[in-house]
Every structure is written in C-alpha cells, then in structure tokens.
Chain A
Amino acid sequence: MLQKLWHKKWMVLCLLLGCILLIATVVSFPLYRNAAFDRMIKDEFDDYVSEKGLWPAMNSMLMIAKNDREGKSIVKLENAMAEMDGAMGVTERERIYYYSLSKAPLQSTWNRTDLGTDGLRLGFMSNLEKHAKLLSGEMYSESGYSEDGAFEVVVSQDCLVNNNLLVGETFEFTGLADANKNMIRIKIVGVFAEEDSTDFYWQVKPSDMGIVALMKEDLFREYFLGENAYHYSITCQFFNLFEYDDITAEKVDQLMEKTVYYTEESAIRKTMSKPEYRELLENYLSKRTRIEAALFILQVPVLILLCAFLFMISGQMYDMERNEISVMKSRGGSSSQMFRLYLYQSTFLTLLGAAAGIPLGTVFCRLLGSTQNFLEFNVRRQLNIKFDQSVWSYAIAAAVGCVLIMTIPALKHSRLTIVKLKQSNALRKRSWWEKIFLDVILLGISLYGYYNFSKNQGSLAASVMEGQTLDPLLYLSSSLFIVGMGLLFLRLQPLVIHLIYLMGKRFWKPASYASFMENVKNGRKQQFIMLFMILTISLGMYHAVVARTILQNAKENTEYLEPVDIVIKEVWNKVPSSTDNPTDTATAAYMEPDYSRFASMPGVEAYTKVFLDERGSVKTVDKTQSACTILGIHTKEYGTITNLEAELTGKPYREYLNELAVAPDGVLLSANFRDVFGYKVGDSVEYKDRYGTIIQAKIVDFFDYWPGYEPTSITVGADGTAQKQNNLLVIANFATIQKNLGIYPYEIWAKLEPGATSDAIYEWIKEKNIHVVKYADKAAAMRQVVQDPLLQGTNGVLTMGFIVTIILCAVGYLIYWIMSIRSREMIFGVLRACGMHKGELFHMLINEQIFSGVLSIFAGIGIGTLTSRMFVPMLQTAYAASNQVLPMKLIVNQTDMNRLYLVIAGVMALCLLTLITLVFKMNVTKALKLGEE
C-alpha cells in the first residue's frame, strides 16, 4: 500500500492537502467559536463594570427572620446559599454576610441628652476588617468585648455625625436584651470607611449605614443567632460575588439553568433578587445563536468545496488505477478486498491529515481571531484557545468524512471488471444533471429566494432586530445561485465551442482542429474541474465582496454616526438660586465653566461648542407636538470639524452651513418634516427645548442626512415586534439658541490632529479634573466595530474561506491539468510522429486550456460579480439592520480582486510552465513505447 502511495505521490500529496485543510477548517470552527464566545462574555461583563462601576456577577439575598425558631431558617438559607454557590460552577470571589437586628432605642452611659437618634441597628458585616479603613479610633478587638464587657462596635462617618455619637462612648440598648434578659451594651471604638471605594465588597456603602453599628461576626452569631434567634428580628443580606473571568462559554448553560432554578423555582427564590448578570448572559445567548448560525452558514460552501476537491482528486486517482483494479478483479480479487485496500489507504491519509490538520486548525483559529479586515490580521488580542470535547468531536466527524469521501469512489471502481471498463469507456451520454435540468431548477429556487428577500427587505431588517438569526435561506439562495449559474455555463459552454468550431471548420489548423475536437467530444470529462473552478472563483469573489461590504459599511456607518473624534460634555453647576426651588426650569441659570481651558487640549486640530437637546419638541402642522432633537451649531467652526459626502445630501454640505449662517433665525430641518408633515422652505416653525422654551424660526432648507443623524430608527416594542420610527432633527444657529435659552450647557466637539489619539485627551481631562457627563470617543467606537464578534467572525471565516478556496483552486487546476496531459502522452506521441511539431502541440494544449480553464475562470469572475451585486445588499441588511443608516454601498476592493487575479495568473503561468516542460521533454519514441506497454 505504501509503495502504491509513493508511486502516485503527487496525487497523494493533493489528497493529504485536502484532508489537512478540511480537518483544519472544521476544527477551527469550534475552536474559534468557543474562544470568541469566552471573549464575548468577558466583554459583556467588562463593559458592564466599566460603564456602571458595579460587579454584575453576583447573587444577592435578603431575608428578614422574625422569631426564627432555633434560627433554622437562617441556617437553611446560609446552607442554600453555599449549595447554590457550588452549583453555579463558577469560582467564588467573595461571600458577604451583612446581618443586622431591627432598630432598637439606646441611651448613652455618659448621660448625654443630645443624641441625634432614637435608635441604632446592631449588626455585622463579614470580613469587614479586611475591607475597611478607620477614620478614627480602632477596629473592634479580637475578643470583640470592651474592658467593661460591652460589645465593641464601629460605625460609619455618616452614622457618627448624623446621630451625634462619640468615639469611645458606651451605650445601653433600652429595647434590646440578650437571651438571658441582660441589657446589651455597645462601645463605639472606631469610625470606618471604604479602604478602596471601587472595592466590590461594598455592596452596601458605609454612607447607607446611617444607623448601623457593626460588631464582631462570631459574637453576633453567638448572641443573636441559633437558638437565640427566636427573640429577634434579623435582617439578613447575602452577597455572593463570583469571578466572571471564570465564566467560560461552556459554563454558561449550567450557570443560566441554576440561576433560573434558584431565582424562580427553588425554596429560596423569594429571598433572591434578580441578578444583573442574567441579562448579560441572556444578551450573550441571543447573540451566540446568531453568531454561531452565521459562522456556520458561511463556512458550509468552503466545506463543500473541500469535499468536492477530495472527491475529485480521489476519483482521478482511481481513474488512473482503473486498469490495475480491473486486472486485479479479473485475477480473482474480490470487491470487498479492493474496497478494504482503499479503506486502509484513506484511513492512513486521514490520520496523517488529522495530525497536521488539528494544529493547523489552531493556527486558523488564531488568524480568525485576529482578523482586522478582509485579509488583514492583527495579533494584538490573542484568543484563548482551548481544546474541549466539542473540538475533538468535530475533528472526528471531519476525519470520518474524509475517509468516506476518499473511499466512496473506490466502491464504484471496485465493482469494475475489464469487461465493464471497456463498456463504460464506450458510454457517452449527457450528465444526469443536464437531463433533470438541475441548473434551471437551482436558478429558479435561488431567484425565487432573491425575489422574496428583495421584496421584503424591510421586514428582513425587522426580523433581525427581533432577534432572528441570519436567515440561512438567504445565504443558501446566493450559494444555489452560484451553483446554478455554474451549471448553466457548463451546459452552454460546449454549444458555444461547437458553434465556433463549426464556423471555421474548414480553416482550422490541425492543432486548433484537434483541440476543438477534444473539447467537443471530451468536454464532459472536464465538467467537474470546470465547475470546481467556477465555484471556487465565484465564491472567492463573492466572499471578498461580502466581507469588505459588511465591514466597510459598518465602519462608515459608525464614522457617520460619530461625527467627530471627541465629544465632551462637562458637568455644569447651577447658579445658587435665591429661592429655594432648585427644580429644572428654563429660568434656572447655569454657571458656564471656563471655555478657554479647552484650548489646551492636546492633539486637537479644531473644536467647537455644540448645543444638543435630544428631548426637544416641535409643533407640527396639525398642531400636535412631536419629539425632536435640537442641534445648535457655530456654522463655521462646525463645518471645519465635521464633514458629509455630497452624494448623501444631493448638494455640498457646506452649502447647508452657509444657508444657515446667513439666516440667524433660520433652521435646517430633516427631510421628514417636508415628507411627513408637509413643511416647505420659507415656512415658519416653532420648536421647544426640553424645558419648554419656545423658539420661532424660518425654514431655510431640508436635508436627508446630517453627521450623526439617523433619519429613521427601528425599535423593538414590548410585544417583540419591530417598529420603524421617524427621527426629527432641527438645526439652528448656536447664537440664536443661546439668545433664547440663556447660558445653557453645551458640548465640546473636537477634531483630532492626524496621528493624535484620544488617550491624550482622556489624560488631559483627568489632569484638569474636569467632571464629565458625556464622553464620546470615535476611535473606541470604531475599535468596537472591528472587534464585534459577529463582524470579526464573519470576516475571519470569509478570509479563511477565501484563502482555502484559492489554494484549492490553484492545486486543483494544476493537478487536473498535469494528470490530463500525462494520461494523453501517448496520443501526443502519435501526433508528433505524424509530423506535428512541438509548437503546434503546445498551441493545441493552450487552446484546450482556454476552452475549459480560462473560460471557467472568466465565468467564475462573471458569476461572482453578478452574485455579489444581487445578494450582498441583502446580506448586509441582515447583518447591520439595527443601525445601518447610510445607504448600503457595495465594496469591491480592487486589491482583493487583483490578489485573486494574481493567484489565477500564477496558476495559469505554472500550468503553462508545466505544459512547456512536459511538451519539450517529451520523447516521441518513449511516448509511443508508453502505449506499447
């Protein structure tokens, strides 16, 4: 067997390559999926932490135990919590107990009468000593008792001040006694505060412990829990924090299941509050299905091509071995023996393939995870690659697939005998697909899909918003379209060639004549390789366009929605009003912070003040109020930091700004004022800011797009259906707004110098100690687009698909040609003997290449372009439905196409080179001898 393999080493190498690529591609899918999902979860939690400053991975419980017999319910709850903690399967970070007794009156032993309180709650917080610092005094002692036997307690600053307590003072609870009816006494030994205010231990802030005195935990437990609990009413709070870094994709299901169980079904459900992380995980889960489906769907065509490649090469190999097989059969080798031989051979190759394919899969996975753009990689953020059971099962499935694909053709061949071989050689008939008009059927299905989807493009967007996945049918339609067009081409190609042949039948030179004959008569043999070429090239193109378009549109969209590099909105203080009525009214005056400070922002090219009120309203023609956004701008400055492509608005952006600049009382309105409400240029319009100050204005112009403006948005209603809504935007002169509203908080919009980063601005804000209520960073938003798992995964899969496709295309074409020439060497010998010179032979082969190869390549390019034009807009909708504002642009990146053409040209050149060497090295007598043997 090994000897046999060595004999056909090139074919075997191709098969091996196919196996390796197939296994690597299949394995990279779960690897990437798992790693990307881990990252997605971490991002969800990280974002939550950085946005809200809270620890989301936490379960909390609250129970008030009144007259609890023997403290059983508390023990039960504590046990339940410990059990839950274990059941979640995630590493615990911190378990916090915060128990307190109900408020009880007390009096100072110093007989002070100026106490600010009528009572305190005595309690404890577990591990307080590790997280608190003391502002004055000291922590309760190891024993927990003071010298005179009172409980030592610490209180918060608020508690101390509000209640007018003193450190060192001892109090007696008048309404609280221990089990032996002895009065409880406490001594305040210290005042505590958070050691670190960002420490997530502080689920209950010291500032919220206005009437709480904290004592040592074991003393509290000794005196008030267990058997003694019966006498008290105890508020028990548990906070169970766990490490969200530890929540990996495979733990999510268990975590979710247990969370649902404990919060909705278990005995302790009523004590539990809805955990924050549940929404994060639900968010993740809904994205997960979508991403998983999208990635899978995108990978299917590449997998099919890989299978086709393996099938083609192994078929070719068996074809070469046909004679051997039929001889062996005629000498008595049984079909099952033959089959077993090939089964061993395939298994051997597959094992080799797996040995190389699985490591390659991890490389693929890393590449997937570092995809920055189509065919661009950036390894800044590494994925954490893990091999779990799912990876191995995928690998095994792929390996079994490989073996089957490589062995099935043998099944067909192992039944051959010499007689049947001769017979099958004589068969010349139409392919089965031509007879059943498969091409027409496939085209019909895909065009029906295309028609349906394009008719319902709007609802397609809505369905994505409602949480549905990328419709597999949509992607399937495009794939079917490619296959259908490819088959149609195969049906037509022989007719065209035949027509050309007939046109010049008499005049063809012998070489052309022979190549025409070869193609007319034997063309069907080449159908598979031609279809393969068409599919690889058109899919490659299609994938390139899909990837570029989706990402580029998402980027441009973000670019549009984030009109400037940096937006800063400072906290403005109100002028202390003489009347004690600090409500938000239009009359409330603000103190304008020092605007000149912004001049020192580093790396800023230009900046301007912008008034933005997203809760304004406008009186529409039918006298009702509609919500609108009001934007007040300094036209000149605004124009230098923002820009808009003229093709979006129909006329240069600057013209709008100029129109507004010359009309102090003018406004620019979004086009829906005109289209929905029937306003005209020159009409007057009345709009109000959020506090109701009315401003009268004249309409200067309408615009379709404005930097950052979304004409319509889709929102998902309470019933889960998506609704489209018009957004109104009013743009006025900043000066006019300020004249009407007075001094009012504005935003600073800044444009960075080329090469400057937002980090410097961020540092500057910290350094200047500017309190910010809004900070928008375009670069960060752009980074998020690139790192979005769906986009990145799509890009990655398409990029990998493109690379694999190109390899297959190159290798498949080369091997096919070499084999096809080798198998006809004898005929070439005959032709040479008949006096055909090498040039003519070469000419003949080139002709053949043109008829099948070059034509298929052009067909592939044509079909790829057509498919992109038809289907990419819809795919794009499916991806970006939620926030695609700009009209979709089809991005055909010339570099990608050039790369593709370059590879094709390289392959063709290599083919030519092989042809030249084969033809010129060919020894006529040897070639003829070949026939004799």
Chain B
Amino acid sequence: MEEDRSKNYIIEIQNVGRTFSTASGDFQALKSVNANIPEGILTILKGRSGSGKTTLLNIVGALDNPTTGRVIIDGQDVSRLSAFQKEKLRRKKIGFVFQSVSLIPSMNAFQNVEFSMRMAGIKGDHKKRVEECLKMVGLGSRMHHMPSEMSGGEQQRVAIARAIAHSPSIILADEPTAELDSAMAAEVTKLFQEMTKKEHVTIVMTTHDVGLMDAGDMVIELENGVQISQQADA
C-alpha cells in the first residue's frame, strides 16, 4: 500500500534529521523533517537563514547524508547509494542552481550549459538543446558571452539553463534569487514555474524572500531545523 503511494511522489523526505559536530558541541541543524513532493511542481523551502533549509536541500541533492531518517528519490533510498551512485544520480537526475555565481568562469554561456550535458553523458548533438535552454531563460542572444561579461541575473539564468539542459527530473535551487533585485527574482521564480509545466520537472528552491512564497505549488517552512508548516496549493 505504502509502496504504491510513494510512486506519486518523486521526493520523499522521511523523518530527516542532521546533526553537525562542532567545537562547542553538537548542533542540530534539522529535526525530523517530513515531506512528500509530487512530480512536476515547484516547491518552496522557506525560512530565515540558519533555519536549516540549505542543509535539507543538500541532503535531498545527495550532497550530504542525514543523521537520521531517509530521503527517497524516485523510489530510491539515497542514503543506501554508494558515492559513485550518488554522483550518477546528481549527474543524470538532478540539476543544481546555487545562490552565488556558480558558472565556470573559463567557459562561455553556451559551453557552461553544454557542460552539464557532457557530465550527464548525453550523446549526440548538444547544440539544439543548449540553444533551446538558453532561449528558454531569455538569453538566446547572449550565448557566447563569458560569465564575466554578464550581469548577476543573466549569470543566474545561465545557471538555470545549465541545470535543466540534461533534462533532470529534479532541480534543486539554493537561494537562487538572493543576489538579485526583486523584479529579477520574480522573473526567475516565474521561469521556474514555466519550467515545471514545460519540462515537467520538479523544482525545489529555498528562499527567505516572503514575496516569492505565493509562487510555489507547495511551501515547506523551517525554523531552527524544525518543520513548522507544509502547505500544498494544488
């Protein structure tokens, strides 16, 4: 019965806790978070800085292991995967968008996007797909510019194009709007929404920007590592 149900959710967060050992003792960043995220929606992880949302996102992205509980992605228990399998998972199924500029400075926009397709091991001609993705983020005309020649918003859009290019099932975005002005932030969020529709991708983004909360199909709010609410708009 439970197995059946899980198939509807692409990400299942079950009782996830994370404790960091620091010099001044253990610090519990996450306490038993639970959430089931269905396919093809935009989920917003909400909370102030230090609330544990990035930690949660890293665990979902198989960059970090939970101390307790587990994350199941597409029916696979992530914590049971080997390092190599996790890398494979990240390469094929997940796309990342980071808060600050994360483009490879030595590659231009086109190459940055194409690089994720190389990483995912996608064969064939990448050109069409790369152009499609860059057009999707509205940068069709700036494909051959270097990161240093673009504004922060433009760079972030390239990063989004890169995250989507290899057609992952999940995009994890950590504060993608933090360094953008509010108009730009709204635009990026809108882009995410469109992408969930167009590419049928599941997007989880963290933000502390209250103005963006409405955009999510689902909102998970954290405070001091404790899940205080979860609401689904749909």
Interface 9-residue window, one of B66-74, B88-96, B136-144: B88-96
From A426, A510, A520, A924, contact of B118 by CB (8 A): A510
Residue-wise interface mask of A (813-851) relative to B, using a CB-CB cutoff of 8 A (1 in contact, 0 not) = 000000000000011001111111100000000000000
The reply to whether A837 and B119 form a contact with Cβ atoms under 8 Å apart is no
The reply to whether A517 and B106 form a contact with Cβ atoms under 8 Å apart is yes
> CA separation between A509 and B87, bound complex, in Å?
16
Q: Which 8 A-B pairs rank lowest in CB-CB distance, beginning with the nearest?
A: A835-B91, A835-B90, A521-B106, A510-B118, A830-B102, A518-B106, A837-B87, A931-B100
The reply to whether A514 and B90 form a contact with Cβ atoms under 8 Å apart is no
Q: Is A497 an interface residue, CB under 8 A from the partner?
A: no
> CA separation between A837 and B88, bound complex, in Å?
9
Give me 5 other A-B pairs in contact (C-beta within 8 A), A513-B115, A517-B107, A932-B100 excluded.
A827-B102, A835-B88, A836-B87, A928-B63, A931-B102
* Chain A residues with CB under 8 A of B92: 835
Q: Is B132 an interface residue, CB under 8 A from the partner?
A: no
Residue-wise interface mask of A (496-525) relative to B, using a CB-CB cutoff of 8 A (1 in contact, 0 not) = 000000000000111001100110111000
Minimal beta-carbon separation of B179 from chain A (angstroms): 10
The reply to whether B149 and A426 form a contact with Cβ atoms under 8 Å apart is yes
The reply to whether A510 and B115 form a contact with Cβ atoms under 8 Å apart is yes
6 contacts between A and B (CB under 8 A): A426-B149, A428-B148, A514-B104, A517-B104, A925-B63, A932-B99
> CA separation between A517 and B110, bound complex, in Å?
12
Residues of chain A having any CB pair with chain B under 8 Å: 425-426, 428, 508-510, 513-514, 517-518, 520-522, 826-827, 830-837, 924-925, 928, 931-932
* Chain A residues with CB under 8 A of B61: 833
> CA separation between A834 and B90, bound complex, in Å?
6
* Chain B residues with CB under 8 A of A518: 104, 106
> CA separation between A837 and B146, bound complex, in Å?
25
> CA separation between A836 and B83, bound complex, in Å?
11
The reply to whether B96 and A833 form a contact with Cβ atoms under 8 Å apart is yes
Output the nearest chain A residue to B120 by Cβ-Cβ distance: A835
Interface residues on B, range: 20 to 34
Q: Is B105 an interface residue, CB under 8 A from the partner?
A: yes
> CA separation between A833 and B83, bound complex, in Å?
12
Known contacts A425-B148, A517-B111, A925-B64; is A836 also within 8 Å of B102 by CB? no
* Chain A residues with CB under 8 A of B120: 835
Name B121-169 residues within 8 Å CB distance of A.
146, 148-149
The reply to whether A924 and B63 form a contact with Cβ atoms under 8 Å apart is yes
Minimal beta-carbon separation of B2 from chain A (angstroms): 30
* Chain B residues with CB under 8 A of A521: 105-107, 146
Known contacts A521-B107, A827-B104; is A834 also within 8 Å of B149 by CB? no
Minimal beta-carbon separation of B129 from chain A (angstroms): 15
Minimal beta-carbon separation of A922 from chain B (angstroms): 12
> CA separation between A928 and B106, bound complex, in Å?
18
> CA separation between A514 and B114, bound complex, in Å?
11
> CA separation between A521 and B88, bound complex, in Å?
28
* Chain A residues with CB under 8 A of B88: 835
Minimal beta-carbon separation of A294 from chain B (angstroms): 47
The reply to whether B83 and A510 form a contact with Cβ atoms under 8 Å apart is no
Output the nearest chain B residue to A428 by Cβ-Cβ distance: B146
The reply to whether B104 and A837 form a contact with Cβ atoms under 8 Å apart is no
The reply to whether B99 and A834 form a contact with Cβ atoms under 8 Å apart is no
The reply to whether B104 and A833 form a contact with Cβ atoms under 8 Å apart is no
* Chain A residues with CB under 8 A of B99: 931-932
Q: Is B36 an interface residue, CB under 8 A from the partner?
A: no
* Chain A residues with CB under 8 A of B63: 832-833, 924-925, 928
Q: Is B177 an interface residue, CB under 8 A from the partner?
A: no
Q: Is B9 an interface residue, CB under 8 A from the partner?
A: no
Q: Is B224 an interface residue, CB under 8 A from the partner?
A: no
The reply to whether B64 and A426 form a contact with Cβ atoms under 8 Å apart is no
Minimal beta-carbon separation of A427 from chain B (angstroms): 9
Q: Among B63, B101, B111, B116, find the residue whose CB has the most chain A CB atoms closer than 10 A.
A: B63
Known contacts A513-B118, A520-B106; is A837 also within 8 Å of B83 by CB? yes
Residue-wise interface mask of B (169-191) relative to A, using a CB-CB cutoff of 8 A (1 in contact, 0 not) = 00000100000000000000000
Minimal beta-carbon separation of A920 from chain B (angstroms): 12
The reply to whether B91 and A834 form a contact with Cβ atoms under 8 Å apart is yes
